[in-house]
Every structure is written in C-alpha cells, then in structure tokens.
Amino acid sequence: MFPFLMVFIGGGLGSVCRYGISLILPKSDGIPWATFTANAISCIVLGFLIGYQLNKGISTKYSLLLLTGFCGGFSTFSTFSAETYHLMQNGQTLLALAYVALSVLFCLVCIYLGLKIQNFG
C-alpha cells in the first residue's frame, strides 16, 4: 500500500502543478506552450533527481514520490500527443512536426541541464 500512496501523492502534486501552468500560460492556436513548459520543467526536475540519485542516493519512498509520482504527474505525453494530433487535424502539419521535434530535443536538453545543475550542488 505504501508505494502506491507515495506515487499517488506525488502524481497529484505534479498534476496540480501542470494544471497551474495551464492557467498561467495563455492558449494559442500554435504551439501548446503550457504542455511544452510543463514537460520541459519536469525534465529539468527529473534530470536533477536522477543525478542526485546517482550521486547521493534517494530512498525508495522519495524516488516513488518525486521521480515516479511528481514527474510522472507533471509531464504529460498523452496531452502532448493529443495536441499534436489536433494541430495536424487543423491542417497545421508543419507546425505539428516542428512541435514534436522541438519538444523532444528541448526536453532532452532539459534532462541534461538538470543533471548538470545537480552536479554543481
């Protein structure tokens, strides 16, 4: 029961943060910036936590709370995919492909940045 509770709490906190970003950033007909931002921030946090885990170790309960729960709830592949599909359905195929490429590349850079930030600490 305990592992599920940690993932549940972390996932809920991550989802609330993602929802907060969607309220702060304006909707547009172009790139879905709220999803992009949530995924980028989540990747920075995840990279930092992975680096921390590799260097200093994280207990199982905090790993479940933060890596699995929080980062899993904060990032959103399903929304990213649905928004990409929506752009394609609206005839914005080039923008959709640019969004996919930008998201994947930028989030990889964010993982790297998170790892590097942790190494400075």
pLDDT bin (cut points 50, 70, 90) of residue 121 is low
Is the pTM above the cut of 0.85?
A: yes
Quickly tell me which residue has 């200093």 as its tokens: 56
Rounded CA-CA distance 73/66 in Å is 10
* Mean pLDDT of the residues in the chain: 94
pLDDT bin (cut points 50, 70, 90) of residue 70 is very high
Rounded CA-CA distance 111/40 in Å is 8
Domain range list for the chain: 2-120
Q: What is the DSSP string of 30-57?
A: SS-HHHHHHHHHHHHHHHHHHHHHHHT-
Mean pLDDT of 5-19: 97
Asked whether the predicted pLDDT for residue 77 surpasses 90, the reply is yes
Mean pLDDT of 18-35: 92
**Token pair in block for residue 32:** 């879905």
Rounded CA-CA distance 29/89 in Å is 12
Asked whether the predicted pLDDT for residue 55 surpasses 70, the reply is yes
